[in-house]
């Protein structure tokens, strides 16, 4: 008796056979070796992935920059804002724990094309991971974000992980440049020490002197507190207010107490030395005297 080829069977019988293969691995192998069956098997595979693996392929595609897989998963019914609370990657790979979305994965890994694909399909750029708001302040807040202990959206994920091109892509798709959790995006970038992201945010119109978040500090004071002198220099170059730091009448100079290089930079940009402590004022005068003596010696 001559064996019957699967391809010689009527289409409805082929479908019945395919539907009764329980193993996704075997189905995938069959689809790869028999191109005629690929259109029949593919919807079954993606449907199984969505139903039984919590759309795991969508998150894999976002982490590994596979826009084509993202397109196929979404076309077969995966939710663009579904949350990954099941794979080990949600706790290990991107440092964003507790139900990240595919967009958060793409943003935190700097995968612009995957992020654009997700945004094109309506991904929520404002959605936050579901974590504890009470974890950390200032630099500790960013470390908490990296460890998955702070709620964050896709824009913050891109900032914290240092992907300025992805920051720009998200802004191009309407991400709110002043959106607040505990920090504004600009202050998040400052505390994270991400100069390129700070520049992108300023170019796109971030309010440089806005005092958002729990302690009402400006970006300049946040940079001073983090001892980030290059970021302080950048903010001053962009016109940060050197006289006000918030809260109340707390000034950048007062925040810089004990940091002589920071103090000299602020004074150079017009900060009032009268706001210095007596000790810092004396040190500043001594520094000026030394600089004057060196100048006279060489002239």
Rounded Cα–Cα distance for residues 166 and 155 (Å):
8
Q: Please give the residue that has the higher pLDDT: either 12 or 105.
A: 105
List the Cα angle 213/124/165 in 5-degree steps.
Answer: 75
- Of the chain, the percentage scoring pLDDT greater than 70 comes to 68
What is residue 91's predicted lDDT score, i.e. its pLDDT? 46
Report yes or no: 172 and 140 within 8 Å, Cβ to Cβ.
no
Note the pLDDT tens digit of each residue in 185-198: 999 899 899 999 99
What is residue 120's predicted lDDT score, i.e. its pLDDT? 94
Paired tokens of 123? 């991904």
Beta pairing partners, 83: 101
Paired tokens of 14? 């082929």
What is residue 17's predicted lDDT score, i.e. its pLDDT? 66
What contacts 47, CB < 8 A, 6 or more positions away?
76, 77
Please give the model's pTM, rounded to 2 decimal places.
0.75
Is the pLDDT at 249 greater than 70? The verdict is no
The CATH superfamily label for domain 208-298 reads Ankyrin repeat-containing domain (1.25.40.20)
User: Taking phi first (over 0 means left), then psi (-120 to 50 degrees means alpha), and beta for anything else, what does residue 232 get?
Assistant: alpha
Note the pLDDT tens digit of each residue in 123-176: 988 787 654 443 333 444 444 444 443 567 889 889 988 899 999 999 998 888
Residue matched to tokens 């290990």: 92
Rounded Cα–Cα distance for residues 299 and 181 (Å):
55
Q: Please give the residue that has the higher pLDDT: either 98 or 96.
A: 98
Domain boundaries in the chain?
A: 208-298
Rounded Cα–Cα distance for residues 59 and 84 (Å):
7
DSSP state letters, 56-111: HHHHHHHHTT-HHHHHHHHHTT--TT-B--SSTHHHHTSS--SS-BHHHHHHHTT-
What is residue 186's predicted lDDT score, i.e. its pLDDT? 94
Confidence class for position 181, pLDDT limits 50, 70, 90: low
User: Taking phi first (over 0 means left), then psi (-120 to 50 degrees means alpha), and beta for anything else, what does residue 213 get?
Assistant: left
């Amino acid at each position: 008796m001559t064996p019957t080829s699967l391809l010689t069977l009527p289409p409805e019988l082929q479908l019945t056979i395919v539907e009764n293969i329980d193993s996704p691995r075997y189905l995938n192998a069959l689809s790869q070796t028999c191109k005629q069956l690929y259109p029949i098997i593919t919807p079954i595979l993606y449907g199984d992935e969505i139903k039984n693996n919590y759309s795991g392929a969508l998150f894999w595609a976002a982490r590994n920059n596979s826009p084509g897989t993202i397109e196929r998963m979404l076309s077969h019914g995966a939710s663009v804002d579904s949350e990954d609370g099941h794979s080990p990657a949600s706790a290990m790979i991107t440092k964003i724990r507790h139900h990240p979305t595919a967009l958060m994965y793409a943003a935190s890994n700097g995968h612009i094309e995957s992020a654009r694909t997700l945004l094109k399909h309506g991904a929520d750029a404002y959605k936050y991971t579901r974590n504890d708001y009470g974890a950390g302040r200032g630099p500790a807040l960013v470390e908490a974000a990296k460890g998955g202990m702070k709620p964050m959206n896709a824009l913050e994920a891109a900032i914290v992980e240092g992907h300025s091109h992805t920051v720009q892509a998200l802004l191009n798709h309407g991400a709110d440049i002043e959106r607040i959790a505990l920090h504004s995006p600009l202050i998040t970038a400052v505390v994270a020490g991400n100069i390129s992201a700070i520049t992108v945010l300023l170019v796109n119109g971030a309010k440089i002197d806005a005092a958002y978040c729990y302690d009402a500090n400006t970006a300049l004071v946040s940079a001073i507190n983090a001892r980030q002198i290059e970021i302080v220099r950048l903010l001053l170059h962009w016109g940060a207010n050197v006289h006000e730091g918030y809260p109340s009448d707390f000034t950048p100079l007062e925040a810089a107490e004990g940091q002589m290089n920071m103090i000299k930079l602020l004074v150079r940009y017009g900060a009032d030395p009268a706001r210095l402590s007596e000790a810092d004022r004396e040190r500043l005068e001594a520094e000026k005297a030394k600089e004057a003596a060196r100048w006279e010696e060489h002239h």
